Structure 1
Amino acid sequence: MAQSTPSTAYSRDLGDELRRLRETCTDLKGHEVASRLGWDPSKVSTIEHGKARPSEIDLVQFLTMCGKDLDYFEDFKRRYRNAFEEYIVQLPGNLRTVAMAESTATKIFSYNTLTVPGLLQTAQYAECLCRAAGMTLEEQISPLVKARIDRQAILRKHDRPSCLFYIHELALRQQFGGDQVMADQYLQLFFSAHMVRVVPADVPVNSAGILLWEYEKAMPIAYAETDLTQVFVQDRGAIARTRLIFDRLAEIALDEEQSRRKLAEYVNSPREELDAPGPRMA
């Protein structure tokens, strides 16, 4: 029997991988797989939704039904081993778990200090960002940019999540690509101003940035990334601390109208004026 346990971003990702295997490698519906394996009819659904931890025997039976061999099973078991942990660490660039986590969220809170958030980036900005990092092979840049832009489709869904993006003004001042790339990026942010709150430049940066995804029927997930790792957290204490960060940001960030005017300054002002020293008013 599959062991019921709170799901995580990664368990739901791997469960979805099992669902896709069943659909592409067999012509069986979930209840038909359950019948052939002698499982309870609901077992396939709970495993494919990442809501239950299957035993090794369960995985062997399921993957064998999908025509997979022992090597495939060993690789999947290795990846599945920590799927239900409260802290999941992955290599950077693995966008599948991120995409699934954000696409199923009902609310998204984001804080970015150095760059424009991925869900609001233009393709040209994203490409220049990849090149500036210097850690991506040339042949990988185009697929990464496409994946990032494809993720933005969630903002156009009829049941799209409620989003609030806090962006430190330092991220607006950093230039990736030429003036036209930045001008287009500023314009895209301005068109999304109803979702953006600008943190003024004179507010010290005390965080590299963080995300909080909230769900209707699952535990919230805090997410942070560096050049070396991406971390998914479902520890209750960490979630509470993350909410405190966003409570504080709500206090210090410009309000919606002030943020709109600040973004308009970047849209309308020459680059050299934005880089000039001295205070800038909201």
Structure 2
Amino acid sequence: MTTHHLDTLRRDGYVLMPGVLGAAALPTIKTAAKHILDAHGSDTMRPSDLLADPDLTSALFSTRVRTTISALFGPSQTLYLYPNFTIRNNLYINWHTDDFFLDAPLEKASALPSLFMFNVYLQGNSLDAGGGLDVQSGTHRLPKSERQARAQADGPAPEHFVASGAGDLIVFDYRVVHRGTIPAGTVRPDRMALQWTMSTSDDVAAVYLAYLQIRASRKLHISDFTRHRAQEFFDDLPHIRAPALIERFSPAFFDSQLRFADMATYLREEPR
């Protein structure tokens, strides 16, 4: 199973793993998430708010998620979880990649990525209602200039829609050209995703965490130039500390193979 999923991810830039969150728990998770997001008037949840809700922590820091991660990467692979875990609702940003902050590639185009993005959907998604993921398959292997050109596309893209059901997980390469599936009509029902980022090495940690930290004060990502700029979310990231998180969720989630990369550990000086 591990080889199959990683081969698919290497080839396409993404892989779908169905039923990672059980259907019975989803209504409770969605209700808790909607309450928090509405209370803050935001479409991006602060990590500290997620950590304060037992229904949400039981979804992310669960045996089921941990087992899925091990099934994907293998039980001996060392992995690093980053503090930008969140739940988003109806966040639609046009085509982009998540490696634009790098001056030089971290790996060869043919290699598996250094960073993996995880989305678990809390409802079924469709071209009409939106909420899923559109991926330009294979674009992670293209030169950056060509990927940037591909990201200029606009309009409907049914050929790039990845069909996902409630509780399904999509893991994707941070280099692949992607976007949230934009609803076809004017009505936008709630469409939520539990999201987090992981790497297979801590070599990238200082670079990635510095980028996350800088976004609290600078506009870098395409979303930062829209009404979706998540100021409170990025302000919150330095407060998520490894010792408290590991003590709270070990050994069921964190262990010698799955570690937490926080800003306090990797960013000892303020970025200039």
With the length of structure 1 as denominator, give the TM-score of the two structures.
0.27
Larger Rg, first or second structure (1 or 2): 1
More helix by share: 1
Q: Which has the higher contact order (CA 8 A, sep 6+)?
A: 2
With the length of structure 2 as denominator, give the TM-score of the two structures.
0.27
